[in-house]
Structure formats: structure tokens, C-alpha cells
Structure 1
Amino acid sequence: MAFDSTPSYIATEALKQAVNAAVTLERPLLIKGEPGTGKTLLAEELARSLDTALITWHIKSSTKAAQGLYEYDAVSRLRDSQLGIEGVENVANYIRPGKLWQAFRADKRVVLLIDEIDKADIEFPNDLLQELDRMEFHVYETGETVRAEQRPIIVITSNNEKELPDAFLRRCFFHYIDFPDRETLQAIVDVHFPGIAPRLVSEALNVFFELREAPGLKKKPSTSELVDWLKLLMSDELSRDALYHRDPAKTLPPLAGALVKNEQDTHLLERLAFMMRRAGR
């Protein structure tokens, strides 16, 4: 198996090598990068390219590692016992398989995405070390051991909100998705909008990189936001004309709300434009 770009996903050579290395080593692939650089989409495209299922485990601040294995619904069992419901004596009826269980017991090799692992408690990654190493875990309520019938390809994403433990990092193959350069962004735009006017892309990319390079910007616009912005510009002729004839010292880009997502950055860009006007007098 060799992962490559797909009709809907542009992968750099470094990213292709990282995916293929992780698969060869049978290690989880830990992906970091700015929001909007395609970390989650990578797992989706990898599963599609392999013609297999994608099992996604979205991590929240309240998520516990044990939930990925299974959950024992003791409350339902107690309620059913009080109601005299048949089958209550079989504890297996109250075991709810988690995402790892589903991936381990799949009929064919699947892609398991553990999305935004850094949102969970700091101990969360360490609590999964043994299960990800051995590809098995024990169900104490039933005495059963769940083993991976086909070792899943594991993709783990992180937005770097907190540091991950060294013991966990040692077990992963790591790759940081650098923000795309202009040529790569052009290719991504071509994938999403075949036949888009070259002038529109050129002007939009000029403004996009100009915004990203603005000093002091709290949240830089991402690739996904560029795609949204271009979609809006393509559907609004007046906004396109405003983009073509825009004076950076006088106004924000048209439909700037697709790129600038908080009032601090809006005020910052307005101040920068004001300073440019003063300097030009």
C-alpha cells in the first residue's frame, strides 16, 4: 500500500512519506498542524483510497480513554433487573463497545481516527499505551480479551493545545503539516474549483497571504477558510469587483468575515489600514 494524493486531497511528498512510514512500521501516525490544514481530512482520504471504513473517535475535554474500549451500563442493568426484563443476568448485554473495540473487531483492516487528542486530560494518551501497543484489551466484566483481527491504521490528530507525554510520542510516527505554500494552495483551489478564473485566484491568494503575514494577528486564516471565501467570491460579482479594485489602505477585503474570525483581528487590520493611509499622505 502506498498513499498518494487523491482527486479531492493534495498531499505533499513529506506527508505521503509519513503516512507510508507509519503503515510500514505499524505505528500510530500523529499529525499536528494549524487548524484547517487537512489533518482530519487526511484520515478520511486515506480510508477512501484503501476502500475501507473510517472509524472516528472525536475527543472532548471530558473523554476518558476507557470509553474507547467499552462502557459497562450498570444503570440500565439495575433498572432492567427491577423491571424483571429477560437477559439481565448476562452482563454482556450491558457492554457497549467503544471505537477501539469496533476497529479491532472489524472484518477488514480499517482506519481509526483519534481526532484532537490534545483536548483530553493529560493522562489520556498514557492510558491508551498498552492497548495501542498490544492491539488488545481485557473486558473485566465478562473475562473476555478483545484482540485486533486486522491491525487498524491509526491516525491521531492534535492542534498542539497541550504537550503530549514522551512515552506516548515514542510509540508514534510524527508529522507536522506545514502551512501550504502558494503553489500547493493553487493546486488545492484547482481541486475544489476546476475552471476558476485565474485572476480571481491570483488576487485572492495575494490578499490571503497578506492577511496571514499581518503582524500581531491572533488567528491566521486557514486553507479551509480560503476555500469558503473563494466560494463566496465566485457567487457574488460585486464582491469580486471590490476585490479587483481594492485599496488595502482603505478597506478590509470583501466578505472578510470568511477569513477574519474575531473582533481583535478586525480592529488590528483596520488600524494597519489607517496607518498605511497616514503614511501615504
Structure 2
Amino acid sequence: MKFEGTDDYVATGDLTMAVNAAVTLERPLLVKGEPGTGKTELARQVAKSLGLRMIEWNVKSTTRAQQGLYEYDAVSRLRDSQLGDERVNDVSNYIRKGKLWQAFEADEKVVLLIDEVDKADIEFPNDLLQELDRMEFHVYETGETIAARQRPIVIITSNNEKELPDAFLRRCFFHYIRFPEPETLRKIVEVHHPGIKDALLTTALTQFYELRDQPGLKKKPSTSEVLDWLKLLLAEDLTAEDLKRDGANALPKLHGALLKNEQDVHLFERLAFMARCQGR
């Protein structure tokens, strides 16, 4: 069972090595990187490449670790008991299985994605340590132990918004997805926009990297944003010549796909203003 990337996902050598190392070690793969660099998509493509089903757990700020195991609906059971419903005699009727339970009870190996783990409370990763280590957990309401029939491939993503506990990090194989170099980004673009004209792509990527490298930028545009931008350029049938800028406008065409806050837009407007003043 070896991941080598897919036709729809350009994986660098160090990324494929990280995935395969985590699979071999049977450790969760913790993937960090800028938003939009393909962390979530990696899990989907690993599942596709290996022919496995994927179970996705999207973590929110209110998510608790217990929800990944199961939730006991005591309120519904109380209501049913008051109505004389016979279902109350079996507590399992009020147990809602979480994503980890679903992954553990699968007859076949699956890919379990725990997406954006750093969104939750700082105790969230620690609360999953034992379950991810032992691949089992206890259901107190029924007295049963749920153990993984097939150890899932666990991929955990983080946007680096907060530090994760050391005890959690020790149990993971870690990989940081660096922002792609121009040649790698070209390959990614070719996957999503095959046949794009070389002159247009070269001009667009030159402007894109210049924009990303601008000092003072609050939010640098990501891979997903440059793909959206190129989609718009193609839809508008723009050419490399159309993308040329003069001193009066430092912003690229259709910049709303790349710059996502007014502070960054104002930064480029100020640069254009300074360039005009110097040109007088």
C-alpha cells in the first residue's frame, strides 16, 4: 500500500514520503501549511490512490473530542420514557456514533481525516491521545469496548493557528506543506487548467509571486486562490498582453480572487500612487 500521488493531485517527493512513512509506522500524519495549500485534498487523494473509503471529521471551535467517539442523547431517552416508548429499554438506541467509531467499526481499512484540528479547544488533541494510540475506546453507557477492526490511515490537518500539545505531536508523523515553487505550481495549474497558454501562465504566475512577496501583505494568496484567479482569466479570455500593468495600477486584473481584505488592496493602491508621484 503505497501513495504516489494521483492524476488530480501533484504531490512532491517529500510529501509522498511523509504519507508512506505514516502508513508504515501506523501513526497519524499531521499536515500543516498555509490555508489553501491542499492539506484537506491530500486526504481525499490518498483515499482515491489507495482505493479506500474516506471518513471526514470537520473540526469547529465548538467541537469536543467526545463527539468523535459517540454522543449519548439522554434528553431523547427521557422524553421517550415519559411517552412509554419501548425503545428506552435499549440504551444503544440513544447512542450516536462519531467519526472515530465509524472508522473503527469499518470492516475494511479507511482513511480518517480530522480536518483543522487547531480550530478546537487546546485540550481537544490531548483528549484523543489514548483513542488514537490504542485504536479503541470504552462506551460507558453500554459497557462495550469499540476496537478498530482495521487500523485506519489517520490524516490530521492544521492551519498552524495555535500550538498543539507536545504529547500529541510525539504520536504523529509530521509534515509541513511548503508553498510550491514556480515549477511545481505550473504542474498544479496544468492539472486544473490543461492546455493553458504558456505566455498567459508565465505572466500570471510572475504577477502572482510578485504579489505574494510584497512586504506588508496581511494575507498572502494561496494555491487555491491562484487557481480561481486563472479560471477567471480564462473565462474572460484574457491574454498575457491584457495582464500588463502600468504605473497607474499596481493591482493585477480581477484581483478580488487573490486579495481578500481591504488592507492589502489599499497597500497596492498606495504603491501605485507612490509610483505615479515618482514618475512625475
TM-score normalised by structure 1 residue count: 0.97
Q: Look up the match of 2:123.
A: 123
Amino acid at match of 1:201: L
Q: Look up the match of 1:97.
A: 97
Q: Is contact 1:110-1:152 (8 Å) kept?
A: yes
CA distance change for structure 1 residues 23 and 277 in 2, over 3 Å: closer, same or farther? same
Q: Look up the match of 2:4.
A: 4
Q: 1:64-213 to 2 correspondence within 5 Å?
A: 64-213=64-213
Give the match's secondary structure for 1:205: helix
Superimposed CA distance per residue, residues 8-57 of structure 1 (whole angstroms, 9 cap, x where no aligned partner): 10001010110000000000000000001000000000001111111010
Q: Look up the match of 2:223.
A: 223
The share of aligned pairs that are identical, in percent, is: 71
Give the match's secondary structure for 1:145: strand
Give the match's secondary structure for 1:87: helix
Q: Is contact 2:247-2:276 (8 Å) kept?
A: no
Give the match's secondary structure for 2:44: helix
Q: Look up the match of 2:259.
A: 260
Residue 136 of structure 1: how far off its partner (Å)? 0.1
CA distance change for structure 1 residues 72 and 246 in 2, over 3 Å: closer, same or farther? same
Residue 4 of structure 1: how far off its partner (Å)? 1.1
Q: Look up the match of 1:31.
A: 31
Q: Look up the match of 2:62.
A: 62
Amino acid at match of 2:83: L
Cα separation, 2, equivalents of 1:221 and 1:82? 56
Superimposed CA distance per residue, residues 223-272 of structure 1 (whole angstroms, 9 cap, x where no aligned partner): 000000000000103586531x3225524111100000000000011111
Give the match's secondary structure for 1:88: helix
Residue 84 of structure 1: how far off its partner (Å)? 1.4
Unaligned runs of 5+ in 2: none
Unaligned runs of 5+ in 1: none
CA distance change for structure 1 residues 86 and 239 in 2, over 3 Å: closer, same or farther? farther
Amino acid at match of 1:69: L
CA distance change for structure 1 residues 105 and 277 in 2, over 3 Å: closer, same or farther? same
CA distance change for structure 1 residues 23 and 206 in 2, over 3 Å: closer, same or farther? same
Where in structure 1 do 4 or more consecutive aligned residues deviate above 6 Å? none
CA distance change for structure 1 residues 49 and 184 in 2, over 3 Å: closer, same or farther? same
Superimposed CA distance per residue, residues 153-176 of structure 1 (whole angstroms, 9 cap, x where no aligned partner): 000000011100000000000000
Q: Is contact 1:22-1:29 (8 Å) kept?
A: yes
Cα separation, 2, equivalents of 1:275 and 1:41? 41
Greater shift after overlay, 232-241 or 217-226? 232-241
Give the match's secondary structure for 1:242: coil
Cα separation, 2, equivalents of 1:177 and 1:153? 19
Cα separation, 2, equivalents of 1:93 and 1:56? 24
Cα separation, 1, equivalents of 2:241 and 2:261? 25
Cα separation, 2, equivalents of 1:96 and 1:146? 14
Q: Is contact 2:28-2:172 (8 Å) kept?
A: yes
Residue 211 of structure 1: how far off its partner (Å)? 0.5
Superimposed CA distance per residue, residues 55-81 of structure 1 (whole angstroms, 9 cap, x where no aligned partner): 010001110000000000001111111
Cα separation, 1, equivalents of 2:6 and 2:119? 29
Superimposed CA distance per residue, residues 160-219 of structure 1 (whole angstroms, 9 cap, x where no aligned partner): 111000000000000000000000000000000111111111111011001001110000
Q: Is contact 1:233-1:240 (8 Å) kept?
A: no
Cα separation, 1, equivalents of 2:63 and 2:26? 25
Q: Is contact 1:239-1:255 (8 Å) kept?
A: no
Give the match's secondary structure for 1:107: coil
